Structure 1
Amino acid sequence: MPSNPCHALFGLGALLLAACSSPPSAAPPGPTAPREDLCPEGFADCDGDSDNGCEAALLTSVESCGACGARCAGGDGATALCAAGACTLACDAGRADCDGDGGNGCEVLVAEDPRHCGACGVTCADACWNGTCDAAVLAGELRLPTFLGIDATGLYWTNQGTGDAPDGSVMRLDPGGGEPVALAPEQELPGPLALDEAAVYFAHARGLAAVPKAGGEVAELAAGTRGVTALAVDQGALYWVEAGTPPAFEDGGLFTLPLGAEPGAAKVMLAAIPGAASGVALDAGHVYVTARGTGAADGAIYRVARDAAPPSAPDRLHEALAAPRALQARGGALWLIEGRGIATFSPGSPLRRVVPDLPQIPAQLAFDDARVFWTTAREADGQVQSARLDGSDLATHARNLSYPWGIAVDGTNVYFSLAWNGGPATGALVRGPKGP
Structure 2
Amino acid sequence: MATDNDLVLVARHLAAALCLLGFAACQAITGLDEFSISSTASAPDPGAPEACQPGWHACDGTCTDLSGDPLHCGACGSACGTGEICVDAQCTCPSHRPRCAGGCVDLRTDPQHCGACEHDCSGQTCADALCAPELLMTGLGTLRALAVTHGALFWTEASPGRVSSIPSSGGARTDHATSPAPHALAVEGDTLCWTDSVAAEIVALDLTSGVTSVLATNQPSAYALALAGGFAYWTTYEVGEVLRIPRSGGPLEHIASSQVGAFGLAVGDHHVYWVNQDGGAILRSPLDGDALPEPIATECPAPRAIAVDESHVYWIDNVGIMRHDTLAGGPLVPLTEPPVSPHSFVLGGAYLYSTDEDGTIRRIPTAGGEPLSLAVDQALPSAIALDATHVYWHNAGDGTLMRVAR
Select 1:160's aligned residue among 146, 158, 161: 158
> CA, structure 1 residues 316+389, in 2 after alignment: closer, same or farther (shift >3 Å)?
closer
State the Cα deviation string for residues 88-120 of structure 1 (Å, max 9, x = none): xxxxxxxxxxxxxxxxxxxxxxxxxxxxxxxxx
Gaps of 5+ in 1: 1-123, 162-166, 245-250, 422-426
CA distance in structure 2 between the partners assigned to 1:363 and 1:215 by the alignment: 34
Q: Which amino acid aligns with 1:306?
A: L
After superposing the two structures, state which structure 1 stretch, 330-339 or 188-197, moved more.
330-339
State the Cα deviation string for residues 359-385 of structure 1 (Å, max 9, x = none): 1421111233232110024xxx42211
CA distance in structure 2 between the partners assigned to 1:192 and 1:267 by the alignment: 19
Select 2:176's aligned residue among 183, 204, 209: 183
Q: Which amino acid aligns with 2:204?
A: A
Tell me which residue corresponds to 1:113.
none
Select 2:382's aligned residue among 405, 408, 412: 405
Q: Which amino acid aligns with 2:143?
A: P
Contact 1:160 1:188 in 2 (8 A): yes
1:150-299 alignment runs, 5 A limit? 150-161=148-159, 167-175=160-168, 177-184=170-177, 186-204=178-196, 205-206=198-199, 207-214=201-208, 216-244=210-238, 251-261=239-249, 267-293=252-278, 298-299=279-280
- Residue 359 of structure 1 aligns to a residue whose secondary structure is coil
> CA, structure 1 residues 331+303, in 2 after alignment: closer, same or farther (shift >3 Å)?
closer
Offset, 1:226 = 0.5
Tell me which residue corresponds to 1:78.
none
Contact 1:341 1:356 in 2 (8 A): yes
Contact 2:165 2:173 in 1 (8 A): yes
Contact 2:148 2:168 in 1 (8 A): no
Tell me which residue corresponds to 1:314.
293
> CA, structure 1 residues 432+356, in 2 after alignment: closer, same or farther (shift >3 Å)?
closer
CA distance in structure 2 between the partners assigned to 1:411 and 1:383 by the alignment: 21
Q: Normalising by structure 1, what TM-score?
A: 0.59
Tell me which residue corresponds to 1:327.
306
CA distance in structure 2 between the partners assigned to 1:268 and 1:369 by the alignment: 30
Gaps of 5+ in 2: 1-120
CA distance in structure 1 between the partners assigned to 2:385 and 2:150 by the alignment: 12
Contact 2:134 2:403 in 1 (8 A): yes
Q: Which amino acid aligns with 2:325?
A: S
Tell me which residue corresponds to 1:347.
326
> CA, structure 1 residues 344+208, in 2 after alignment: closer, same or farther (shift >3 Å)?
same
> CA, structure 1 residues 315+368, in 2 after alignment: closer, same or farther (shift >3 Å)?
closer
Tell me which residue corresponds to 1:139.
137
Offset, 1:351 = 4.8
1:95-114 alignment runs, 5 A limit? none
CA distance in structure 1 between the partners assigned to 2:124 and 2:188 by the alignment: 35
Contact 2:215 2:247 in 1 (8 A): no
State the Cα deviation string for residues 233-253 of structure 1 (Å, max 9, x = none): 111111110111xxxxxx411
Tell me which residue corresponds to 2:368.
391
Identical amino acids, percent of aligned pairs: 24
State the Cα deviation string for residues 197-228 of structure 1 (Å, max 9, x = none): 11111011222211122462332221211001
Q: Which amino acid aligns with 2:308?
A: A
Q: Which amino acid aligns with 2:292?
A: A
Tell me which residue corresponds to 2:15.
none
Contact 1:191 1:203 in 2 (8 A): yes
Q: Bigger radius of gyration, 1 or 2?
A: 2
Offset, 1:346 = 2.9
What do you get for the CA RMSD once the two structures are aligned?
2.9
Offset, 1:405 = 0.7
CA distance in structure 2 between the partners assigned to 1:170 and 1:392 by the alignment: 37
- Residue 287 of structure 1 aligns to a residue whose secondary structure is strand
> CA, structure 1 residues 242+308, in 2 after alignment: closer, same or farther (shift >3 Å)?
closer
Offset, 1:159 = 1.8
Structure 1 segments (4+ residues) deviating >6 Å: none
Contact 1:169 1:190 in 2 (8 A): yes
- Residue 388 of structure 2 aligns to a residue whose secondary structure is coil
CA distance in structure 2 between the partners assigned to 1:271 and 1:370 by the alignment: 30
CA distance in structure 2 between the partners assigned to 1:199 and 1:305 by the alignment: 24
Tell me which residue corresponds to 2:404.
432
CA distance in structure 1 between the partners assigned to 2:145 and 2:359 by the alignment: 16
Contact 1:143 1:168 in 2 (8 A): no
